Amino acid sequence: MMTRFRNVAVTLLGWIVLAAATGTPEAALEVHDAWARASVPGQTASGAFMELKSPVGLELTAVRTPVAAVAEVHEMVQNGDRMSMHAVGKLTLPAGTTIELKPNGLHVMLFDLKQPLVAGEHFPLTLELSDAKGRKSEKTLDVVVRPLGGTAP
């Protein structure tokens, strides 16, 4: 009886130590300056930007938000003399490296906006993450809307 109790206690302690040692990937991910461009009436798409830094290697596998039917990570590519953009399947976040999502670079594309993005308002944006072992987690950000033409401060 005592032995059995002790085994359970040791197992629980093991889990607690493991959890403390590894943390959760989403808790470790640092996000700075998450913002999105305000939209004008009739505009159906916009972009969201932020800086991401993780102490452990992570992959950003998907993004979603209640304000847009479709949210995708996009990159800009030079095509001759013009820029075009396309969806990135997975965005790698190397350990300790700041990845900047900014206008004219990597960005979160918001398609089919369900409501206008009004400067000064906020909306949630959820990042779906996967670590090196394939463990999935999510982190939901508070994104502030900045005026059209606004840039990072």
> Which residues make up the interface to Cu ion (CB under 5 A)?
74, 85, 109
Write the CB contacts of 44 (distance below 8 Å, at least 6 apart in sequence): 111, 112, 113
Contacts of 35 (CB under 8 A, 6+ apart): 48, 49, 50, 143, 144, 145, 146, 150, 152
Identify which of residues 57 and 100 has a Cβ nearer to Cu ion in the complex.
Answer: 100
59, amino acid identity: E
What is the closest distance, in whole angstroms, from the C-beta atom of residue 124 to Cu ion in the complex?
20
Task: State the nearest-atom distance from the C-beta of 53 to Cu ion, in Å.
Answer: 22
Nearer to Cu ion, 49 or 123 (CB): 49
Residue 108 CB, nearest distance to Cu ion (Å)? 8
The minimum distance between CB 113 and Cu ion, in angstroms, equals: 13
| Identity of the residue, 62 or 85, whose beta carbon is nearer to Cu ion in the bound complex | 85
State which residue, 29 or 110, has the beta carbon closest to Cu ion. Answer: 110
The span from the CA of 110 to the CA of 93, in Å, is 21
